[in-house]
Amino acid sequence: MGLRLDRPLYSLTTHDENLTAQHVWEYESLGGIKENNNPVPAPIAVLLALIVTTAFMLTFPLWGQRPTAALYADYVDLLNTSEVQQVLNNKDLTPHQADAQAMKLIEDRLSHFPSPYAFQRKQHIMTMDHLRYLAPKITELRDSGVDMEQYSIIGPNIVKQNFFRLVDGKVVAKQPWWDAGYTIDIFYVIYFFAVVFCLIKGLPPTSWEPDHSKAH
């Protein structure tokens, strides 16, 4: 099979091979099927691109990271401040209103200070009820001196992550922001579309239409 790359969007095969394919297309009955030489419809191409893009965006490894105890250590510190406790103990507010205002106050205070966890906190919204339950566990974990980034929050529990990587000869149990499987997915999607493109462009150019009357 001859391969030409000077006009890949027009055809990947040589002129003589296109002539051979055109002859077979017109003079073979192909089981009685009359197949035209139409291009891939633009809506189908757009739909495929949309599906692939959406799938990769939704499965991006960063979205799948579990929240760690380190994300909410500052929440616990602010929860114990007199300002927040005053809001929570305000008898003029219902428990729901007090919780909402206290959480808003905590998040407002956190927004004034740069944090490497700001993006992840937006992904994993913390409620006051959840914070109350987790606060003693987070405090105990921090007092033990461990790396809180190695501990995930799963519902009401704080557990050590099941990820083990060697960093400078030391085992680190932290979920990486990138997943090797994601790289494999990207490779196979590119490979699939490259093969499909080569197969389509291996046919005669779409400017040529077969004459079905010659074999039918």
- pLDDT, tens digit, for every residue of 177-199? 777 778 888 899 999 999 999 88
Residues 79 and 157 in one domain: yes
Residues 80 and 104 in one domain: yes
Provide the pLDDT confidence category of residue 128 given band limits of 50, 70 and 90. very high
- C-alpha to C-alpha distance for 186 and 38, rounded to whole angstroms: 29
- Which residues constitute the domain of residue 191? 15-61+180-214
Q: What is the pLDDT, as a whole number, of residue 2? A: 67
Task: Name the token pair of 57.
Answer: 């965006």
* Model pTM score: 0.58
- C-alpha to C-alpha distance for 110 and 152, rounded to whole angstroms: 21
Which region among 18-32, 66-80, 89-103 has the lowest average model confidence (pLDDT)? 18-32
Task: Name the token pair of 72.
Answer: 């909410």
Could you tell me if residue 151 is inside a domain? yes
| 3 state SS of 27 | helix
Phi, psi at residue 166, to the nearest 5°? -95, 120
Average model confidence (pLDDT) across the chain: 86
Phi, psi at residue 71, to the nearest 5°? -60, -30
- C-alpha to C-alpha distance for 13 and 10, rounded to whole angstroms: 9
Task: Name the token pair of 136.
Answer: 């003693």
Phi, psi at residue 18, to the nearest 5°? -65, -40
| 3 state SS of 153 | strand
Number of domains in the chain: 2
Could you tell me if residue 1 is inside a domain? no
Task: Name the token pair of 71.
Answer: 């994300």
* Cβ-based neighbours of 94, under 8 Å, separated by 6 or more: none
Residues 153 and 201 in one domain: no
Regarding predicted confidence, which is higher, 167 or 70? Answer: 70
Could you tell me if residue 199 is inside a domain? yes
